[in-house]
């Protein structure tokens, strides 16, 4: 089997170990004999669609610094990328967006000064600049069990009515430090604030993304071969115990 | 009077911490004395004839130590915050420990102050330095400083208000640092290494090598021991042997040398003194049975791996220690930006199947990173307790042991080595 991972703006949005998530996806696929190609999709590039080239089977979108985030927001707005990503997510393609990437896939980001940065409206959520940075370890309860990561954001994200959080905060701030929600989930797309890196220590989530990607690509149920995750779960449990 | 009381308080705390052995006394005396007299640093430091400030993410301590070495070789008396405590309290602590209570006119010719990226903005005006050196900016403890863009923006603001006659030295290979020249009223001087650029956090990529004033050319790295290169300053050339490994130390040398020139030191005296230079505490340390290399952020750690990977023999071992205390950075995500794959891909390591010991408060994160870098889990031994980890790593050791700790692990390691009688002094600094 083969998989193509689309690393959205990987050259600009790759802060706080985001690359670790790509490493985890790649390795866990390779250990099962699945061939992986990682495609960086940046400013000026086009996302391959069914009529041109190989389609993207799984998206990853990391966080970036303010300046990078502005250029990326502009590019998402003027290029066709936003439209293609949304179409792909509608057909079930999994996506993981963290921090800046998560914010840009919402409805908008409102900075302290200046104009709103428009998002592509994939997640029914919006983000408002906050005064205080929300920094620290975070543990949430989710459909993948407990997940652990590290958050570092000043933007406060609010979910719109009827939208689903990725999980509920056990310790940490989460979306906005108030309503105990963390992240957002829409179809097979997940947005959240968890670095850490997130995927290596939370292999259930990683495998879920891979499984969904293969199922959409090959149009059948996929059961991933189990791996020896002793180290992964030790790392996860040690961190969860330490912080919650 | 307030100053007098503050210094007295600081000295008392210093005495107590040393007497009861509860720390190195590099932060607490200054912290409390500053509460009593907030202007302590400017009041005392203006008695020092010349002051130099060194900032950046990596290499501050080594650069400061080398410049102090050059100054001493040139006959100057130096005061500096050599313990790596590079916030205002560290400087205050140094001043307190060295100041004569009855006569604050210090008997020093030169103050060399390393400041961390954020402290630079608030402390530099208080020190009113004659020279300033910017080394580099990398992702470091972003959980503490915020983002690199905002650090650089604050630097630009601070640089704008510097007097035009400040001697101003910039790393020309680091785009984020190099652009500070535009914010500076006077003329900046730049240093760099031929065919080498730093991509710390630069969004805009550097397209071509900048012209620099101090340049290292024809670089030849000599393993774990040294490097050789030609130092070029305008039309002058010097053949240099630097007794430190890796490209990153060449930048530290260039910065120290350039600052030395601004102080009127003779190139021959500085370069001649290099053979007696020993690296800064715990940054790179040669032990009887191996080496210690401090790792603290992606750029620095990757440079360390680039330096050691080709040197690791099959019977050598590795001990890696990752802590997540405040001084290490509480976010351990950074290990995923380090090229750990280099250990596995080194040509000599191919035949190696020995154990790598990982330790520290986040040892499992480190073990996981190694697993995903392609190292087999049965090669990895996890031992959270550093003392036990060291024992495991040294037991039956035939080759050398490479120890790579984060900052607080390094401090803990030094104390273990001393207690076990493996190293004589916990704090051996000749200055």
Q: Reduce the secondary structure of chain B to three states and give it as a string.
A: CHHHHHHHHHHHHHHHHHHCCCCCCCCHHHHHHHHHCCCHHHHHHCCCCEEEEEECCCCHHHHHHHHHHHHHHCCCCEEECCCCCCCHHHHHHHHHHHCECCECCCCCCEEEEEECCCHHHHHHHHHCCCEEEECCCCCCCHHHHCCHHHHHHHHHHHHHCCCCCCEEEEECCEHHHHCHHHHCCCCEEEEEECCCCECCCCCCCCCCCCCCCEEEEEEEEECCCEEEEEEEECCEEEEEEECCCCHHHHHHHHHHHHHHHHCCCCHHHHHHHHHHCCCCCCCEEEECCEEEECCCCHHHHHHHHHHHHHHCCCCCEEEEECCCCCCCCCCHHHHHHCCCHHHHHCCHHHHCCCCEEEECCCHHHHHHHHHHCCCCHHHEEECCCHHHHHHHHHCCCCCCEEEEECHHHHHHHHHHHHHCCCCCCCCCCCC
- φ, ψ (nearest 5 deg) of residue B204: -85, 120
Q: Which residue has the higher pLDDT, B234 or B164?
A: B164
Contact assessment for residue B53 and residue B42, using Cβ atoms and an 8 Å cutoff = no
Judged against a pLDDT cut of 80, whether residue B282 lies above it is answered with no
> Which residues of chain B neighbour A136 with C-beta distances below 8 Å?
143, 330
Which of A66, A133, A234 comes nearest B364 by C-beta? A234
B149/A133 touch (CB, cutoff 8 Å), yes or no: no
Which of A24, A135, A136 comes nearest B372 by C-beta? A24
Residue A54: the pLDDT is 78
Which of A65, A152, A238 comes nearest B143 by C-beta? A152
Q: Which residues of A are annotated as a binding site for substrate?
A: 133
Residues of CATH 3.90.190.20 domain(s) within chain B?
284-419
A228/B330 touch (CB, cutoff 8 Å), yes or no: no
- φ, ψ (nearest 5 deg) of residue B239: -85, 120
Distance CA A206, CA B281 (A): 41
**pLDDT band (50, 70, 90) for residue B144:** low
> Which residues of chain A neighbour B203 with C-beta distances below 8 Å?
12, 65, 67-68, 71
- Of the given ranges (A8-12, A50-54, B183-187, B213-217), which has the lowest mean pLDDT? A50-54
**pLDDT band (50, 70, 90) for residue B430:** very low
B377/A201 touch (CB, cutoff 8 Å), yes or no: no
Which of A18, A65, A242 comes nearest B147 by C-beta? A65
Contact assessment for residue B145 and residue B55, using Cβ atoms and an 8 Å cutoff = no
Which of B146, B335, B377 comes nearest A231 by C-beta? B377
Judged against a pLDDT cut of 70, whether residue B379 lies above it is answered with yes
Residue B181: the pLDDT is 96
A235/B364 touch (CB, cutoff 8 Å), yes or no: yes
Closest CA to B394 of B371, B427, B416: B416
Residue B358: the pLDDT is 97
CB contacts under 8 A, B 392-411 vs A, are: none
Could you tell me how many CB contacts below 8 A there are between chain A and chain B? 89
Q: In what order do the strands lie in the sheet with B78-80?
A: B78-80, B110-115, B50-55, B131-134, B167-171, B188-193, B214-222, B226-233, B236-242
Q: Is cis: bond before B168, omega within 30 of 0?
A: no
Question: Residue A151: which H helix or E strand, with range?
Answer: strand A145-153
Which of 3.90.190.20, 3.20.20.140, 3.30.530.20, 3.10.20.30 is the CATH number of B284-419?
3.90.190.20
Contact assessment for residue B403 and residue B292, using Cβ atoms and an 8 Å cutoff = yes
Q: Which residue has the higher pLDDT, B144 or A196?
A: A196
Mean pLDDT of chain B: 86
State how far the alpha carbon of B256 is from the alpha carbons of A137, B60, B267, in Å. 39, 10, 11
Probe site for chain A from B142, B333, B339, B384 (most A CB atoms < 10 A) = B333
CB atoms within 10 A of CB B323: 24
CB contacts under 8 A, B 351-370 vs A, are: 361-362, 364-365, 367-369
Q: Is A195 a catalytic residue?
A: yes
**pLDDT band (50, 70, 90) for residue B84:** low
CA A187 distance to own-chain centroid: 13
> Which residues of chain A neighbour B380 with C-beta distances below 8 Å?
231
Catalytic residues of B: 331
Which pTM does this prediction carry? 0.83
Mean pLDDT of chain A: 93
- For range B77-90, the mean pLDDT: 83
Judged against a pLDDT cut of 90, whether residue B120 lies above it is answered with yes
Superfamily of domain B2-276: Mur-like, catalytic domain (3.40.1190.10)
| 3-state SS assignment for residue A24 | helix
Which of A196, A235, A238 comes nearest B333 by C-beta? A196
Burial of residue B23 (CB within 10 Å: 0-12, 13-18, 19+) is middle
Contact assessment for residue A63 and residue A127, using Cβ atoms and an 8 Å cutoff = no
- For range B155-165, the mean pLDDT: 95
A228/B139 touch (CB, cutoff 8 Å), yes or no: no
**pLDDT band (50, 70, 90) for residue B281:** low
Residues of CATH 3.40.1190.10 domain(s) within chain B?
2-276
**How far B203 CA sits from the closest chain A CA (Å)?**
7
State how far the alpha carbon of B46 is from the alpha carbons of A160, B77, B106, B110, B128, in Å. 58, 16, 10, 11, 8
Distance CA B336, CA B322 (A): 13
Distance CA A243, CA A170 (A): 9
Q: Does A87 touch chain B (CB under 8 A)?
A: no
Distance CA B63, CA B131 (A): 14
> Which residues of chain B neighbour A68 with C-beta distances below 8 Å?
203
- For range A81-87, the mean pLDDT: 93
B147/A15 touch (CB, cutoff 8 Å), yes or no: yes
Judged against a pLDDT cut of 90, whether residue B280 lies above it is answered with no
Judged against a pLDDT cut of 90, whether residue B383 lies above it is answered with yes
The two structure tokens encoding residue A172? 């940490």
Judged against a pLDDT cut of 70, whether residue B25 lies above it is answered with no
Helix axes B247-262, B60-73, angle to 10 degrees: 40
Q: Does B332 touch chain A (CB under 8 A)?
A: yes
What's the domain count of chain A?
1
For A154, name the nearest residue in chain B, comparing CA atoms only.
B146
The two structure tokens encoding residue B194? 């031929």
Residue B210: the pLDDT is 67
Q: What percent of chain B has pLDDT over 90?
A: 52
- Of the given ranges (A8-12, B94-98, B164-168, B215-219), which has the lowest mean pLDDT? B94-98
A15/B336 touch (CB, cutoff 8 Å), yes or no: no
Contact assessment for residue A123 and residue A193, using Cβ atoms and an 8 Å cutoff = no
Q: Does B385 touch chain A (CB under 8 A)?
A: no
> Which residues of chain A neighbour B336 with C-beta distances below 8 Å?
17-20, 23, 197, 200
**How far A177 CA sits from the closest chain B CA (Å)?**
17
Model confidence over B165-217: pLDDT tens digits?
999 999 999 988 999 999 999 999 999 998 887 765 433 334 556 688 999 99
Model confidence over B127-142: pLDDT tens digits?
999 999 999 988 765 5
- For range A175-183, the mean pLDDT: 97
Give the domain CATH number at A64: 3.40.50.880
**How far A20 CA sits from the closest chain B CA (Å)?**
5
> Which residues of chain B neighbour A238 with C-beta distances below 8 Å?
362, 364
Probe site for chain A from B372, B373, B374, B378 (most A CB atoms < 10 A) = B372
Judged against a pLDDT cut of 60, whether residue A223 lies above it is answered with yes
Residue A145: the pLDDT is 96
Model confidence over B217-246: pLDDT tens digits?
999 988 888 999 999 998 899 999 999 988
Q: Which domain holds residue A62?
A: 2-243
B333/A197 touch (CB, cutoff 8 Å), yes or no: yes
Distance CA B403, CA B316 (A): 11
- For range A173-181, the mean pLDDT: 97
Q: Is A153 a catalytic residue?
A: no
Q: Which residues of B265-298 are buried (b: 16+ CB within 10 A; e: fewer)?
A: beeeebbebbeebebbbbbbbeeeebbbbbbbbb
């Amino acid at each position: 089997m083969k998989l193509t991972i689309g690393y959205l703006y990987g050259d600009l949005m790759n802060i706080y170990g985001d690359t670790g998530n790509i490493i985890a996806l790649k390795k866990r696929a390779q250990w099962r004999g699945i061939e992986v190609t990682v495609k960086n999709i940046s400013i000026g590039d086009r996302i391959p669609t069914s009529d041109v080239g190989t389609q993207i089977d799984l998206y990853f979108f990391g966080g970036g610094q303010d300046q990078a985030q502005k250029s990326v927001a502009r590019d998402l707005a003027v290029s066709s990328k936003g439209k293609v990503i949304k179409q792909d997510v509608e057909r079930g393609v999994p996506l993981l967006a963290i921090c800046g990437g998560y914010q840009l896939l919402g409805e908008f980001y409102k900075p302290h000064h200046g104009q709103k940065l428009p998002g592509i409206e994939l997640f029914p959520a919006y983000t408002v600049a906050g005064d205080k940075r929300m920094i620290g370890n975070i543990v949430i309860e989710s459909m993948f069990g407990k997940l652990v990561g590290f958050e570092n954001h000043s933007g406060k994200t609010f979910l719109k009515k009827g939208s689903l959080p990725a999980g509920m905060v056990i310790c940490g701030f989460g979306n906005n430090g108030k309503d105990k929600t963390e992240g957002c989930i829409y179809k097979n797309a997940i947005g959240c604030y968890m670095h850490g890196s997130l995927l290596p220590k939370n292999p259930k989530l990683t495998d879920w993304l891979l499984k969904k990607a293969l199922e959409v690509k090959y149009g059948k149920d996929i059961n991933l071969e189990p791996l020896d995750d002793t180290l992964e779960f030790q790392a996860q449990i040690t961190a969860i115990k330490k912080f919650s | 009077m307030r100053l007098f009381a503050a210094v007295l308080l600081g000295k008392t705390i210093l005495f107590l911490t040393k007497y009861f052995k509860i720390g190195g006394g590099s932060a607490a005396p200054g912290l409390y004395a500053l509460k009593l007299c907030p202007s302590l640093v400017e009041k005392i430091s203006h008695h020092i004839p010349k002051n130099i400030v060194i900032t950046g993410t990596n290499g501050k301590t080594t650069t400061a130590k080398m410049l102090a070495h050059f100054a001493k070789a040139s006959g100057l008396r130096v005061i500096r915050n050599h313990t790596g405590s590079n916030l205002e309290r560290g400087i205050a602590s140094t001043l307190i420990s060295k100041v004569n209570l009855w006569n604050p006119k210090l008997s020093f010719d030169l103050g060399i102050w390393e400041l961390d990226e954020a402290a630079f903005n608030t402390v530099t005006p208080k020190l009113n330095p004659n020279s300033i050196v910017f080394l580099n900016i990398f992702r470091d403890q972003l959980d503490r400083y915020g983002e690199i863009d905002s650090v650089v923006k604050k630097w630009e603001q601070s640089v704008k208000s510097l007097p035009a006659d400040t001697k101003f030295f910039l790393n020309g290979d680091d785009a984020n640092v190099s652009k500070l020249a535009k914010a500076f009223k006077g003329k900046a001087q730049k240093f760099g290494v031929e065919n080498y650029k730093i991509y710390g956090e630069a969004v805009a990529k550097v397209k071509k090598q900048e012209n620099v004033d101090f340049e290292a050319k024809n670089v030849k790295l000599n393993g774990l021991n040294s490097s050789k290169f030609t130092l070029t300053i305008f039309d002058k050339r010097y053949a240099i042997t630097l007794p430190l490994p890796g490209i990153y130390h060449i930048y530290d040398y260039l910065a120290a040398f350039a600052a030395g020139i601004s102080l009127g030191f003779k190139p021959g005296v500085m370069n001649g003194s290099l053979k007696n230079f020993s690296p800064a505490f715990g940054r790179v340390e040669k032990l009887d049975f191996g080496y210690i290399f401090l790792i603290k952020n992606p750029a620095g750690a990757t440079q360390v791996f680039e330096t050691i990977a080709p040197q690791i023999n099959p019977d050598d071992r590795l001990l890696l220690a990752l802590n997540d205390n405040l001084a290490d950075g509480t976010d351990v995500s950074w290990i995923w930006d380090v090229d750990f794959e280099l250990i596995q891909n080194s040509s000599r390591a191919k035949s190696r199947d020995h154990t790598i010991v990982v330790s520290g408060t986040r040892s499992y994160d480190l073990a996981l990173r190694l697993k995903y870098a392609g190292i087999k889990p049965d090669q990895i031994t996890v031992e959270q307790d550093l003392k036990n980890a060291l024992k495991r790593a040294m037991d039956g050791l035939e080759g050398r042991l490479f120890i790579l700790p984060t900052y607080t692990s390094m401090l803990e390691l030094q104390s273990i080595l001393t207690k076990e009688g493996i190293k004589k002094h916990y704090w051996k600094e000749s200055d």
